[in-house]
Amino acid sequence: MLVLTPLLWRGAGGEVCAQQKNIFLNRTISNDVELFIKDEIELGDSTYKDVQTGFKPLIESYAVKNKYGVNTTKEVLSERIRPDGWDYLMPPTFWTKVWRKINTDNLIIVDDDEDRFYLTIDPLFNFEFGKDLADTSGEKLYKNTRGFIVRGDIGEKFSFESSFYENQATYAKYIDNYIDGTNDLFPQTLNYQYDVVPGQGRAKKFKKNGYDFAMASGYVSYSPIKMFNIQVGHGKHFVGDGYRSLLLSDNAFNYPYARITTTYKNIQYTNLYTSFMNLTNGGVTTPPNVERLFQKKIGSFQFLSANLFHRLQLGLFQGMIWEAADTMNRQRTNFHTYDPVIGVSALAYGLDDTKNNVLMGATLKLKITKSISLYGQFMMDDMTLYADHKGNKFGYQAGFKYFDLFTIKNLHIQAEYNSVRPYAYAAENPYQSYTHYNQALAHPLGANFTEMVGFINYRLREFFIQIKANYAVKGNDSLSHNFGGNIFKPDNQFPIAQSLDNIHTTQGLKTTISTQDIHIGYLVNPSTNFNIVLGFTNRIEKTEKTSSATQFVYFGIRTSLANFYYDF
């Protein structure tokens, strides 16, 4: 019998098992899952020693499963935040049920009590208010996000999710410049008009200085057998164990995809097929007063990872952006487009193919101790024998994480270095660039940069604090010169005086971007990562002759289930 329980709490003994749902693609949640895995291993659960974290979102039935069954992500977070389970000890009065609903449980639960069907419905929101103290106009900044998320399981093999966000927002000046392609402080820089809110969709003007935008996502997930999972949906993915990914990240907007994951013992193989979009018509003509028909392009990705000796995770990656649609928005696909074998497309077309954009890469994660891990990536877009030649288009990442620093519970640090050479990710035909919806599919800075990122995180029960610092040096284009930082430009156009044997990272208009953010908060409900936060962001962007500053103070009441990157 189905039971609708909008104000009921299901105790530990009656919690339904998670099935084939994805773990939310959010850094804080991902770190908590890693900590959960570490703790389970320390408790002697050997089933976690081969869990691989290189391709995200992780699937709950694989990532948080132990010998007692399957945990939900909510259970993992609740256990870490409230280990004494105080909410179960309170008398079951009406008001304590309401209190638990706000602080622990999903808003609406539909359950048949026999684990044949389980559904949750929750509101999503972000009400943020702030001010840029460095902006003399005194404009008040805000985000007004409303939405919902529906998640469910049908039996043990089938799960689904759907979510929608509607947004209105005003942003600090540097984000306005990014969206609109204007920059009064750096007039010598050729600015690209992106027309999108970073990671969240097309920006339409709202009132005087605001933007209106929406985002929808969802998927169905099916595992006919334990080692095999198929997903079809609309969302994002991330390759690697760092804050950034140089291979495939969640920086860009959502996209349609089909994902096939095969896991056998300590080996995991993922095939991902996507439909990306250039925000250009590609020559397609549409009738007057009709929405433009944007140009499509197919992406295919393979990731093979292995967990060796329970300490070393190695991954091989291939990414391919296939030839974009023609002027009738038709794509010329062949059997290689859906070839599931990693490396075949690179061998068939080569890294320097003029019609298709091929990318190869590798990942590494090494557990030094139970609490310390090193990680890294290498990305290769093109390669020659000459070190500074234009054809050497590659990038690399090196980082480390230290959980429970000096044995202090829930005190963590992370440091990361990223570097990408000029003209990487770009293509001779700009429609074939490694991009989607006018944003990079990998690092938000595109190419021709170096970057250092550091985090300090601490949590005391429901209270948390995060300190983050970024320092990046990027070679921007200036006047009419393409120095290789803008991946939307052709990779075969160079400044007239540029020696093609002397291409170096950060060439061009050298720009430094320094960002520091500190925020403190209170986690209200782990079901949707509902939290209240107060923070301050300081950003300084400089060239030799000009500089700009942002000093953003903000207060927010929000559900945080995704990563949004404003540190560029």
415 lies in some domain: yes
- Look at the chain and report how many structural domains it folds into: 1
Q: What is the pTM of this model?
A: 0.92
Q: What is the mean pLDDT of residues 509-530?
A: 94
pLDDT given for residue 13 in this prediction:
33
**Long-range contacts formed by 153-157: CB under 8 A, 24+ apart:** 153/16, 153/18, 153/19, 153/20, 153/21, 153/115, 153/117, 153/118, 153/119, 154/116, 154/117, 155/19, 155/115, 155/116, 155/117, 156/17, 156/19, 156/115, 157/19, 157/20, 157/222, 157/223, 157/224
More confident position, 77 or 180: 180
Separation CA 512–CA 545 (nearest Å): 12
Q: What is the mean pLDDT of residues 238-262?
A: 97
For residue 177, pLDDT beyond 60 = yes
pLDDT given for residue 80 in this prediction:
64
Give the pair of three-digit tokens for residue 347. Answer: 């061998």
For residue 15, pLDDT beyond 50 = no
Q: What is the mean pLDDT of the chain?
A: 87
Q: What is the mean pLDDT of residues 182-202?
A: 72
Q: What is the mean pLDDT of residues 222-233?
A: 94
565 lies in some domain: no
DSSP 8-state symbol, 481: B
Q: What is the mean pLDDT of residues 145-153?
A: 96
Q: What is the mean pLDDT of residues 131-135?
A: 93
Q: Where are the beta strands (DSSP E) in 247-324?
A: 255-264, 267-278, 295-308, 312-321
Give the pair of three-digit tokens for residue 313. Answer: 């995770």
Max mean pLDDT range (40-54, 70-84, 539-553): 539-553
Separation CA 468–CA 440 (nearest Å): 22
162 lies in some domain: yes
Residue 475 sits in a domain of what CATH number?
A: 2.40.160.130
Cα angle 404-409-414, degrees, rounded to a multiple of 5 = 30
Return the closest-CA partner of residue 499 out of 426, 422, 395.
422
Q: What is the mean pLDDT of residues 60-82?
A: 65
For residue 68, pLDDT beyond 60 = no
pLDDT confidence band for 71 (50 / 70 / 90): low
Q: What is the mean pLDDT of residues 401-417?
A: 95
For residue 289, pLDDT beyond 60 = yes
pLDDT given for residue 147 in this prediction:
97
pLDDT given for residue 187 in this prediction:
52
Give the pair of three-digit tokens for residue 395. Answer: 């990038």
For residue 64, pLDDT beyond 90 = no
Contact predicate 250/237, CB 8 Å: yes
For residue 29, pLDDT beyond 80 = yes
Class of residue 516 by CB neighbours under 10 A (exposed 0-12, middle 13-18, buried 19+): middle
For residue 156, pLDDT beyond 50 = yes
pLDDT given for residue 193 in this prediction:
74
The C-alpha R_g of the chain, in whole angstroms, comes to 24
Contacts of 451 (CB under 8 A, 6+ apart): 244, 417, 418, 419, 443, 445, 470, 471, 472, 473
pLDDT given for residue 67 in this prediction:
45
Separation CA 42–CA 36 (nearest Å): 10
566 lies in some domain: no
Helix (H, G, I), strand (E, B) or coil at 193: coil
Q: Where are the beta strands (DSSP E) in 368-429?
A: 372-382, 393-402, 411-420
pLDDT given for residue 90 in this prediction:
58
More confident position, 189 or 142: 142
Separation CA 287–CA 307 (nearest Å): 54
Separation CA 248–CA 321 (nearest Å): 12
- Determine the residue type at 568: F
More confident position, 78 or 529: 529
473 lies in some domain: yes
251 lies in some domain: yes
Q: What is the mean pLDDT of residues 284-298?
A: 79
Separation CA 103–CA 81 (nearest Å): 12
Domain that includes residue 351, residue range: 3-559
Q: What is the mean pLDDT of residues 534-551?
A: 94
Max mean pLDDT range (14-23, 40-49, 479-488): 479-488
Give me the half-sphere count of Cα atoms (radius 13 Å) on the Cβ side of residue 187. Answer: 1
Instruction: Report the percentage of the chain scoring pLDDT > 70.
Output: 89
388 lies in some domain: yes
159 lies in some domain: yes
For residue 161, pLDDT beyond 50 = yes
